[in-house]
Each structure stands twice: as structure tokens, then as C-alpha cells.
Amino acid sequence: MNPSAFRIGVAVALALLCHPAGAQTFKQQQLRHAHVQAAYRDKEAAVKKLLADKGVAYPPGRLFIRVFKREGRLELWAASRPAERLALVASYDICAASGGPGPKRRRGDGQVPEGFYRINHFNPTSTFYLSLGVSYPNRSDVLRKTGRDPGGAIYIHGDCVTIGCMPLTDDKIKDVYVAALEASDQNRREVPVHIFPCRMDSAGMAALRAEFKDDRALLDFWAELKPGFDRFERDRMVPKASISAKGKYLFPGN
């Protein structure tokens, strides 16, 4: 037997012996599943090194995921403690895409959402290897939907296929799943997920304005997202948006 597989198996067995049903931690519950066991066996050491190379403790005290649709990139940020500035520890290719720039507004539109979310579901038995649910629709999405149903079931997952989600390869979803599970289990803290149409620096915004110059509503929506991008770029701390009665994203001072 592979020594790593043996160690994972022993850890799972001890967890089940020491924590009867109903008393297990979230991580112990997840480790009952084969794909999570494989993720830890294959990638825990690599995740530890990614964090250590940036001076971040394992498990991290804070984790943040940022997605840029046009660039097809998912960034993983972390800090040793919740109040510390975050460091970029890894960046992954999103290996399939649907839709284009702009938010998701209804079921079946094929769009990947844009806005400010969190991980709200860890699925260890996903059809797409492993998957992390994104909290779409949020209150803004519900208030601004077109038609009766804004849709849902938006995930970061493996298997490299998608309609409206953010797929990675099976190899890379293991990294993200382990890091997110460790941050969530250790600190009981949510993992924020910010999704942007592109990197919203001056060049990215200029390209959007040129391409969508006749779509005032879309440009106004992106103007709501930009303070969230700018504040993180400046502070390396996750900014919190509030949502107005009409679904508009608001940041203090904007």
C-alpha cells in the first residue's frame, strides 16, 4: 500500500473511533469520502508548501478566492490570521467557460455570475469530481433577476466542463478543496469568492468601455464592482459590500 494512502486511512479510522456520529468535525465528515481522501493524500503536502512559500501558516487563518472571467483565472489568497493582509499563494487556469462578460440574471442564460459571494457548499461526491458551491444567487441577484428564476447551482469544480460554473482540472480542484476545507474547518470562517468580468484595472476597464460602449446598464453594473476590486488591490483585505433595496452593491465611502 502507498504510505500516504495508509496514513490517510489511519487518520480517517482514528477520527471515526474518537468522534462518534454527530460529534465529528466538518473535516472528519468530509474525510469519509474517497475523493477527499485522495485530495489529502495527493495534495496536502503541496498545499502546505504553497502556503509556506508565502509565509502563511497551515491551516490558514483566512482564505479568499478571486475569479477573472475574461482571463480565465482563479486566484487563491491566504493569510495566517484573519486580520492579516492576504498573500497570493496560487493561480489556476479555468479550463472551460460559457457565456461572456456580464452578470447572470436568469436560469439557463449560460452566464457565470459576477459579484461578491462565499463558498456555501462542499460536495465530496460531485459528478464533477469535487465541487465548491458559490452562494449565487445573493440578494442582489434575486432583486435584479430577469424573469421568475435567477437560477442557481454555481460551483467551482473539477472535470473541465461547464455551463455557468468555474471548472478546474481534477488535479487543481484538489488543491483548492483542501485549502478551503482547512480554512473552513479550522476557523469556522467563510471563504469569500469575488467574481469579476476581467481584471478591473485601468486597461481592463478601458477594454470593457470600448467593447460595451452602448450598454449603459452593464457599464453601470461594472462600476459597482470596481470599488471591491480596487479596495482589495490597495489593502489586501477582503472588502465587504452591502446591497441596496434595488440590489446595487455599495461600499462605504462610495
Which of 19, 33, 157, 160 is flagged as catalytic? 157
CA distance 140 to 82: 26
> Is position 157 annotated as part of the catalytic site?
yes
CA distance 51 to 72: 23
> Is position 165 annotated as part of the catalytic site?
yes
**Number of Cβ atoms within 10 Å of the Cβ of 186:** 17
Alpha helix locations (H) across 31-169? 34-53, 139-143
CA distance 119 to 136: 10
Amino acid at 111: Q
**Number of Cβ atoms within 10 Å of the Cβ of 180:** 21
The Cβ-side half-sphere exposure at 137, using a 13 Å CA radius, reads 20
CA distance 37 to 11: 10
Which of 19, 33, 95, 165 is flagged as catalytic? 165
Q: What is the CA radius of gyration of the chain?
A: 19
DSSP single-letter state for residue 144: T
**Number of Cβ atoms within 10 Å of the Cβ of 2:** 9
Q: Which residues are catalytic?
A: 157, 165
